[in-house]
Amino acid sequence: MTPDSVLGKIEVSPRAIASLASEAVLRCYGVVGMAAGTVRDGIAEILQVENCHRGVEVRLSDGQVVIDLHVVIEYGLRISEVAQNVMESVKFAVEKALAMPVGEVNVHVQGVRVSAEE
């Protein structure tokens, strides 16, 4: 992503944006973790924190950032509410960091998981 300025050009890699987005996702209530975009044998594997960027796809469309997130959500919570919170949190965090509009944040729920405390 390359916003232009008077002094030159600033380039932010899609991986850097993915890292910003994954950090915002992991701070959201109800999110157990990030998952890879592909599901094998119908089971979503939760990514380790250092690989969470792999659960995020970033692209540029019409001058706006489009982000696809693959998440695992806590069982028993309303999925639509958790997903909406994730969308808003990621949009805010990325726009604040980049000063560039986020056109879409798409949340793909790869699975639900019962927490270990229960």
What is the rounded distance in angstroms from the CA atom of residue 45 to the CA atom of residue 33? 9
Q: Taking Cα atoms as reference points, which of 51, 53, 55 lies closest to residue 109?
A: 55
Sole residue written with tokens 């991986």: 15
pLDDT digits (tens, 9 = 90+) for 46-95: 878 777 788 899 998 888 999 999 999 999 999 999 999 999 999 999 99
β-pair partners for 58: 67
Residue with tokens 């729920």: 109
Q: What is the pLDDT of residues 4-55, one digit of tens each?
A: 667 888 888 999 999 999 999 999 999 999 998 776 655 677 878 777 788 8
Q: pLDDT at residue 2 above 70?
A: no
Predicted confidence (pLDDT) at residue 118 exceeds the cutoff of 60: no
SS (H, E, C) the chain: CCCECCCCECCCCHHHHHHHHHHHHHCCCCEEEEECCCCECCECCECCHHHHHHHEEEEEECCEEEEEEEEEEECCCCHHHHHHHHHHHHHHHHHHHHCCCEEEEEEEEEEEECCCCC
Cβ neighbours of 28 (radius 10 Å): 17
